[in-house]
Structure 1
């Protein structure tokens, strides 16, 4: 008993202080870009000594790019002189452990089903052999055939059921094994010149695909307060198969590709200035420190990057001949250049969603369209339509605008100027009230509506036809 206790204590002590020679690190810092991530890990590994070589092993997760791996040794500063990389199966992630456990259960069940199937086949062979050479007359033959047939029917039915269940189980085993191969990572063997002792700490970083961030926006118009509430989130996901705990996260934009070689310099030549802008001067690199957080694998989390209140000048735009309603827009002037990469956005007016669409912005001034406001309505309808056979046929239209908001609004109404495709027919539109301004193609009204106020625009279009009778 004492020997067993001593042995168990030794095994636990060794496993606690001297783990397996390989190690799967835990990220301490991750820099996410829209196309991938740069992961920094710190790992304590056991040092191995064999055949005159000193080495330690680490594992990189699926999606890691070992071509751009950077390794640093921190304890006792042993000299690292080489490392090798090759694909390796890593069943030590949370998903890998669950898969291995499931595979173990399935293979146990597979063995039990195969044993059952072999037993059934033996019983079937036994009952098939009972009818051979053991019948003395027709009555014996009939009784034997009935008895043997009944047992064979039962056993063959059981055999088919077991075979079907075994087929499903083997298909599931094949699927899980293929999944495991797809999630293979990389084993990295780090070779050292001098002996650092039993263990050492490695710091290493590598690019990681399949893990990235994307922007998400929320813009809420508050026309009564003259403000836009702006929220900018980063949606982050990592697919390594391991949950990351207490990892420091940074988000950058745009994506920066790692380079192995220093590129050659191009000529620096001054040329006469022109009106076109230098794209390099306008390129903006964004970088946010999110802080430390828990990032589960195969799940997307959302972190807030920016929360701001933008002073805005709101107005409504309506084109009733195209669509009923009035669309709210907010004009914002920023004190400095702003850069917001493309991403999905939810638009709201006073807490009510009005649209969900892709949003992006670059510049110092912006006009943000929030969609149709249900409390401001603009529509047009036909009042009269005289027959085209009349000497001077005409149409009369009425545009009605209604403001149900508790504050004053500014509304711009746009209507196309009617035209004729026949040069002999003259089209004469008249408006009441007249447009605020008018071009060859467009009539525009600027209206101010108080709370609860309605306003109308009356349009009459007359067509003058040529005198066909010659009078």
Structure 2
């Protein structure tokens, strides 16, 4: 009997324990944001009794990677298990459920009341309609009597008109009332649907912890996990006063998150790493060749110009913004790890869970730059200003879009791509309209000759560059002549215009120095010889 009583008590205590979990709400302390995820650190305060307890932690993110959940607890508390649960029903929230049910019941009662009123309206409308039908029959029968006088006929028509109009107006009023009742029903049904959507479609996640405490105490749990609902993208504001000044580069990022919980007063760390990537080293397998069918490619020339603006634009006054952001560097620490770069920001931020981008300033950098103009008149008859940055790797730049502000003018956007092997990073600062470039074919030095079985074509071009600026400039100018891939096509460079010639690629390069207002003319000429019965489609 004692054993049975003991077992009964144990079962009763277990049921009681299961029915009374301890609820707590996690508060977010910091977030490390990656390119497509975030590592969140939260804390949860709870008062534990001695023994085993079940803790339900609310206010955790939606898209948690369960394999990354880590729980930190004091030495006197042992975490037995951790489980991510969707839509955990808390007893303290039962009042909210009851309120929702009562509200829905109230809406349903209103709908039933209005439907009863509509039924009464339909009964009244039906009675009026039948009355009109009887009136029509009676009055029509009265007008056909042979003994009726004109005076009686007139009175009968007047009575019919008055009554017919009265009944018609009554039906119209009832129709309007019915339409308004129908609109109210639709509004009430929409409210019921919206309440059900809020209650049912939005999942709420909680962490359920089974813990064992050696003594009763109040403690803080540290909760750490990775969630997929966050990202950050770098972008820049690039400013230069003139071609003799360094580039002021404001390093910024756009942070957005949709984790299901708002980040309030959170310390941010931005990392270039990716915790979700595959970290398995590749293994080479044997490479077996086999015969197949030739593929046909569209050999179209696509020229991509990432520059959106020109070195002439809208006045851009951002002095105040520069003053406000100039001290941001004091609050950002850059940590260069073996595999990635992270930015620790000491200023706490509020990032709401709405997916909207939030601009965060990281660093204000001064990049020593050497400016040079660049032009390829065969493709673009305008000069581009390039800023050459040496030893750019020490600035920890990441690929991103940059706004260009040159000489106080917003001139467009460009791309910064530091993932390259060259020692110098070229940043395009825009087009300069004050440098005029013209490339024209010289007709009397160009032409076609037929020699026995061959066709010989000569091409001659003059390139004219004029500096309309008030200061001297240096320009890197490029052009080209074709390269043969067929032994039947022979190409001879007749005049290289004193350019540096790359015989393998056919690229001609000039380092041109132009004084203020100075003009220079360069000439190139080449000859192509090939069988006259053939056609070169890209000449």
Is the TM-score greater than 0.5? Answer: yes
Go from structure 1 to structure 2 and tell me whether the alpha carbon gap of 1:162 and 1:47 turns closer, same or farther (over 3 Å shift). Answer: farther
The equivalences for 1:257-336 within 5 A come to 257=276, 284-297=339-352, 298=354, 299-334=356-391
Q: Return the alpha-carbon distance in structure 2 between the equivalents of residues 454 and 144 of structure 1.
A: 100
Q: Are the equivalent residues in 1 in contact too, given 2:128–2:171 (CA < 8 A)? A: no
Matched residues in 2 for 1:48 and 1:117: separation?
Answer: 56
Quick check: which has more Rg, 1 or 2?
2
Pair 1:368 & 2:426 matched: yes
Cα displacement string for residues 374-397 of structure 1 (whole angstroms, at most 9, x for unaligned residues) = 333322245655895999998764
8 A contact 1:215–1:343 mirrored in 2: yes
Q: Is the 8 A contact 1:124 1:152 kept in 2?
A: no
> Structure 2 residue aligned with 1:408, among 467, 472, 478?
472
1:209 match:
228
Task: Answer yes or no: is the 8 Å Cα contact 1:45–1:201 preserved in 2.
Answer: yes
Tell me which residue corresponds to 1:123.
Answer: 121
The equivalent residue for 1:81 is 80
1:74-223 aligned within 5 A: 74=74, 77-88=76-87, 112=110, 115-129=113-127, 138-139=138-139, 147-164=166-183, 166-167=185-186, 170-171=189-190, 174=193, 177-178=196-197, 181-194=200-213, 197=216, 200-220=219-239
How many matched pairs?
Answer: 416
TM-score by length of 1: 0.70
Residue 445, structure 1, aligned to residue 510, structure 2: yes
The offset of 1:348, in angstroms, is: 4.3
Contact 1:21 1:48 in 2 (8 A): no
Q: Residue 225 and residue 110 in structure 1: after superposition, are their counterparts in 2 closer, same or farther (change >3 A)?
A: farther
- Contact map agreement 2:494 2:527 (CA 8 A) in 1: yes
- Cα 1:38–1:357 shift into 2, 3 Å: same
Contact kept in structure 2, 1:419 and 1:427, CA below 8 Å:
no
CA contact (8 A) 1:85 1:188 kept: yes
Provide the rounded CA distance (Å) in 2 between the counterparts of 1:330 and 1:251: 28
Partner of 2:169: helix, strand, or coil? helix
C-alpha separation between the residues in 1 aligned to 2:107 and 2:434? 65
Gaps of 5+ in 2: 1-20, 91-98, 140-158, 284-336, 451-455, 532-539
TM-score by length of 2: 0.62
Cα displacement (A) at 1:409:
1.8
Matched residue, 1:65: 65
Structure with the larger helix share: 2
State how far apart, in whole Å, the 2-side matches of 1:244 and 1:329 are: 41
Residues 215/106 of structure 1: CA separation in 2 closer, same or farther (3 Å cut): farther
Q: Is 1:69–1:207's contact at 8 Å kept on the other side of the alignment?
A: yes
- 1:411, CA displacement in angstroms? 0.9
Instruction: Tell me which moved more, 389-398 or 37-46.
Output: 389-398
Change (3 A) 1:336 1:398: closer
Gaps in structure 1 of 5+ consecutive residues? 1-19, 92-100, 268-281, 467-471
Alpha-carbon distance between aligned partners in 1 of 2:442 and 2:393, rounded to the nearest angstrom:
51
For the Cα contact (< 8 Å) 2:475–2:512, is it kept in 1? yes
